């Protein structure tokens, strides 16, 4: 049985990290549409029997009816493909959600918050669970008992696998080991935007990652999982869909003595036109850095962020012990910082400006 597995498309998201750059966020929303069209075209061209969508297909807060119509019209193009959706924490099956109020095509099935078993055919069962709120602390998935282990059993849901912190525990926490012990042939997960595969061909647990990257916390390639499942073996492959990648480049400015050198270095970088870049400045700085000024003079339009991770180039403790005006300044500013509870960044900035004016 051939299948495609996607998750975390987040249709109509704001793309906050690039919203300030011209029309880039709108361009990315158009690219979301193109990516789903690629998924559908793949299903159509390869006689794919199953399309599994493991939650966060859209953003409940921002989704437009026109976007839902676009999605459903694409689903209509593959009437012979069974589409199963497990709503997630960003697109829960709530009273006013389009999952509840829109008339979806006949090949679409949407799970709710009761674990359901769908008999797809005489050889295959689909189990699913969906969010009906923006949080889920106990879905009951770990207690599933398969009553037809001789058949192909697939689970689709949105959740946090082995999440240790409190944040993960709010989004359907699931134990990896308990899932494996249930005996599913394939577990189609969503929520984590980074691709993950336990590589067990008889008991695959897979996050496909988001088909489109949302920001600089999602570096690398993004796309979909395609596969073929038989009882006792599931083979999968990753296919890249997003033509852009978010990338980071680090520049050590320790030996730079002017802002012009920083700008010239950034402008000399050979960048791939479609990708989006963040420049990270590190090392020890000998000059004041004004990020707003620097980015306004950068020639590359696809550099959308510059981050300053540099450190001041002088030894505060050493200067503090000097019997001169710099030593007196450092002692005074440290006392002031303690009184006013300045952050490390604020303190360093004050010291840097002060020492520079005394040189």
Question: Across the chain, what does the average pLDDT equal?
Answer: 91
- The predicted-structure confidence for 87-106, as pLDDT tens digits, reads as follows 999 999 999 999 999 999 99
Residue 186's Cα: distance from chain center in Å?
22
Please count the residues of the chain: 359
Give the pLDDT confidence score for residue 288 in this predicted structure.
79
Which residues fall within 8 angstroms of residue 274, CB to CB, at 6 or more apart? 243, 244, 302
Give the pLDDT confidence score for residue 300 in this predicted structure.
92
Eight-class DSSP state of 114: S
In terms of CATH architecture, what is 2-240?
Answer: 4-Layer Sandwich (3.60)
Average pLDDT over residues 279-304: 90
Average pLDDT over residues 50-76: 97
Average pLDDT over residues 241-268: 94
**Residue 95 Ramachandran class (φ > 0 left, ψ -120 to 50 alpha, else beta):** alpha
| pTM recorded for the entire structure | 0.86
Q: Give the DSSP H or E segment for 240.
A: strand 233-240
Residue 337's Cα: distance from chain center in Å?
38
Give the pLDDT confidence score for residue 356 in this predicted structure.
64
Predicted confidence band of residue 281 (pLDDT cuts 50, 70, 90): very high
Q: Considering just the CA atoms, what is the radius of gyration of the chain in Å?
A: 26
Pairing of strands 2-6, 223-230: antiparallel
Question: Are the C-beta atoms of 33 and 66 separated by less than 8 Å?
Answer: no
Write down the domain spans for the chain. Answer: 2-240, 246-358
**Three-state SS at 332:** helix
Q: What distance in Å separates the CA atoms of residue 235 and residue 202, rounded to the nearest whole number?
A: 9
- Residue 230 CA: distances (Å) to CA of 123, 184, 208, 226, 338: 10, 12, 19, 14, 66
DSSP assignment of 121-137 equals: ETTEEEEE---SSS-BS
Give the pLDDT confidence score for residue 348 in this predicted structure.
72
> Tokens standing for 161?
């696998």
- The predicted-structure confidence for 163-215, as pLDDT tens digits, reads as follows 655 566 788 999 999 999 999 999 999 999 999 999 888 889 999 999 999 98
Q: What angle do CA 118, 120, 126 make, to 5 degrees?
A: 45
Which residues fall within 8 angstroms of residue 184, CB to CB, at 6 or more apart? 127, 146, 153, 154, 155, 203
Question: Are the C-beta atoms of 52 and 188 separated by less than 8 Å?
Answer: yes
**Residue 299 Ramachandran class (φ > 0 left, ψ -120 to 50 alpha, else beta):** alpha
Between 85 and 357, the higher pLDDT residue: 85
| Percentage with pLDDT > 70 across the chain | 95
pLDDT for residue 19 is more than 70: no
Q: What angle do CA 142, 144, 150 make, to 5 degrees?
A: 130
- The predicted-structure confidence for 308-343, as pLDDT tens digits, reads as follows 999 876 667 777 778 878 778 878 888 887 777 777
């Amino acid at each position: 049985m051939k299948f495609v597995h996607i998750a975390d498309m987040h249709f109509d998201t704001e793309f906050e990290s690039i919203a300030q750059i011209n029309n880039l966020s709108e361009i990315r929303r158009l690219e979301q549409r193109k990516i789903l069209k690629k998924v559908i075209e793949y299903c159509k061209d390869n006689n794919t029997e199953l399309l599994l969508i493991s939650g966060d297909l859209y953003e409940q807060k921002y989704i437009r009816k026109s976007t839902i119509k676009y999605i459903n019209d694409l689903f209509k193009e593959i009437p012979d493909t069974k589409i199963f959706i497990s709503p997630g924490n960003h697109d829960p099956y709530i009273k006013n959600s389009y999952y509840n109020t829109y008339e979806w095509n006949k090949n679409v099935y949407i799970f709710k918050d009761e674990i359901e078993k769908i008999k797809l055919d005489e050889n295959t069962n689909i189990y699913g669970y969906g969010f009906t709120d923006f949080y889920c602390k106990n879905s009951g998935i770990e207690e599933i008992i398969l009553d037809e282990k001789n058949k192909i059993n697939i689970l689709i849901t949105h959740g946090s696998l082995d999440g240790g912190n409190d944040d993960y525990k709010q989004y359907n926490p699931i134990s990896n080991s308990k899932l494996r012990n249930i005996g599913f042939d394939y577990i189609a997960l969503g929520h984590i935007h980074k691709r993950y595969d336990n590589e067990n061909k008889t008991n695959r647990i897979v996050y496909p990652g988001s088909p489109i990257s949302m920001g600089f916390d999602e570096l690398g390639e993004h796309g979909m999982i395609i596969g073929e499942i038989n009882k006792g073996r599931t083979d999968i492959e990753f296919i890249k869909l997003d033509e852009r990648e978010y990338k980071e480049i680090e520049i050590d400015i320790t030996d730079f003595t002017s802002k012009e050198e920083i700008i010239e270095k950034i402008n000399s970088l050979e960048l791939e036109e479609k990708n989006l870049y963040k420049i990270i400045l590190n090392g020890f700085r000998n000059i004041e850095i004004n990020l707003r000024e620097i980015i306004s003079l950068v020639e590359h339009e696809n550099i959308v962020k510059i981050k300053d991770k540099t450190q001041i180039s002088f030894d505060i403790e050493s200067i503090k012990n000097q019997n001169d005006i710099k030593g007196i300044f450092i002692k005074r500013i440290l006392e002031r910082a303690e009184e006013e509870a300045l952050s490390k960044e604020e303190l360093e900035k004050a010291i840097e400006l002060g020492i520079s004016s005394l040189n």
